Structures are given as structure tokens and as C-alpha cells.
Amino acid sequence: MSEIEKSGLKSQLETKSPRDALREEIKLVHTTSYIDLVKRVAESGGGHLDMDTALSRSSYDAALRAAGALLESVDRILSGDIGRAFCLVRPPGHHALPSRGMGFCLFNNVAIAAKYAVSKKGLERVMIIDWDAHHGNGTQDIFYEDPSVLYVSLHQYPHYPGTGWVDEIGSGQARGTTINFPFPPGTGEDVYLKAFEEVIIPVGKQFNPDFVMISAGYDGHALDLLCSMGLVDSSYRKMTDMIVEMANECCGGKILVTLEGGYNLEAQARSIVQTISGLIGADVEAKDGEPPGTVYSDRAFSIIEQAKNLRA
């Protein structure tokens, strides 16, 4: 929030504390027994769902508020009250499976929002773009057999959680509605932008979504502590601009962004500013320099070719 204020964007934005998600809304994705488990562990004072995923006494309440931010954003965007939304939420969500939390995630915020948009708001198609450097295994699993959701992930591989190889493309009627870019460590902006130009944007236009959602993790930044990718602040502006152009063409510009990972707080804050500036078309100069080149360019570009060939 401090970086947003320093950027001069704050006066152009509405900042709102959202409602909590209802239990029935969480059940659009998660099992009753799992929801009860999260509530019980939190109310007992906290604990761990696994070695990575800790709960405090307030974690259940925070998770309801995080999911509620996305649901309220869906409502307000579809009503025309606002054009786009960036949900600055914690905990994140894209690793959460229907009956299991993992990877710091309790409830799968973006999956709940997409299910809500389709099942409660009557939309036919939702596109989710996940640029977190960890694969969103939970989101993929939830929609792997659901042709109403196109899920696209760009991530470091091999890396946690070990899923998201290029040949994981969905099954049944949803075959082709999952697209994975498992890039090697050191993959930079040039490869990411080519993936957007040659695969993500063309496929998105063909899918013609009614709504676009972004799982925006910033651990792909070159300064991040947990990952080894080569993005910089301005990389996120360039990706956002491409998504905005596609959404304008397909769905009247309806975009919801939700925060996932990111472990260098300064780089994350600056990158969020670049994303928001792209969402509203503001001119905010990036504070970083030129992006580093891709380390294993042949391997990285071959992933894009494989993704294209799997759709041929």
C-alpha cells in the first residue's frame, strides 16, 4: 500500500475492505469435512495442515475474507459498478485442493471465484492465467475436467509442487483447456512474452472468455528468495497490457487479479504497482533496469513449441 501511494496511483483507485465468503460459497470448491478441519484447527489456537501450511487462531476468518474479496469483485464487475479489481489478499489460494490445503494456501480463492461466476452468475467461460512461479496444482486439479474454465500456468520446473508438465492439458470434454509452461530456472521476460504472443493470447481469443482472472504471484521476479526466474517489475506491466487488450476484445475488459506468492516484499510491491498501472492504463515508470536474458533459452523456447504442438 505504501508503494501504491508513492506511485501516485492511490487517488485513481477505490480501496475497499470486502465481505466474508459464505460457507456455501466455499463449498463450491471444497469439501465440508475440509472446511470443518480448517475451522477446527484455527479455533483450537492454530496448527499445521502440513509442514508448509500453518494456521493461526485467525486464519479461518482471514481465509473467508480473502475468498470474499474475489466474490465481491465478481459481483461488482458484472454489475458494472467497477471495471476491474486487484484483490490484495492473504492467505493465497492456488495450491489448495478440494480436500487439502498446501503450499501456504487454505481455500482456493480464484477457483471459488471462477466456480461462482459460472454456477451462480451464469457465465459460460472463465479464463484463469497463473503467472506465479509455482504451478497452481489446486486450480488445475479443480478444473481439469471442466471445459468452462481455461487454465494457463507459467511456472518454474522442476519446483514445488512438482506438477504442471506441458502434457497436462485437461481430460474428457476439457481436453485442451489446461495449458502449462514448465519453464527451466533462469527463464526471463523474452520467453514469457513469446508464450503470451504465440499461445496464450491466441488461445484466449479462441476460447472467448466472459471473464478473465489472474493468479498473480510475484515469485517469478529475479530478486525473489524462493524461485529462480528472471522477470522484473516492468515484465508484469507488459504481461498485464497483453491480457487487458485480449479482455477488451473478448469480454468488455472484465479482469480480476488476486495475489498469490511473492517473497521479496520490495520487488513484489513494485511489481504490483506495475500490474495495477496496466489495469487502469496509467503511466508509472518502473524502478528496475533491463530484464536479464534467459539462461537456458533453447529449453525454454522448446516448451512453447511443445505447448503449441499439443494444440495442433
> Is 134 assigned a catalytic role?
no
Q: Is 45 left (phi over 0), alpha (psi -120 to 50) or beta?
A: left
Cβ contact 92:220 at 8 Å: no
13-20's contacts with Cβ under 8 Å and 24+ in sequence apart are 13/276, 13/280, 14/82, 16/72, 18/65, 18/68, 18/69, 18/71, 18/72, 18/73, 18/87, 19/65, 19/68, 19/71, 19/72, 20/61, 20/64, 20/65, 20/68
Angle of helix 59-79 relative to helix 109-119, nearest 10 degrees? 40
Which residue among 94, 95, 159, 221 is the active-site one? 95
Peptide bond into 147 cis (omega under 30): no
d(CA 179, CA 304): 10
Handedness of CA 245, 251, 252, 253 (dihedral sign): negative
Please state the three-class secondary structure of 183-237 as a single string.
Answer: ECCCCEHHHHHHHHHHHHHHHHHHHCCCEEEEEECCCCECCCCCCCCEECHHHHH
Cβ-count burial of 274 within 10 angstroms (0-12 exposed, 13-18 middle, 19+ buried)? Answer: buried
Catalytic machinery residues: 95
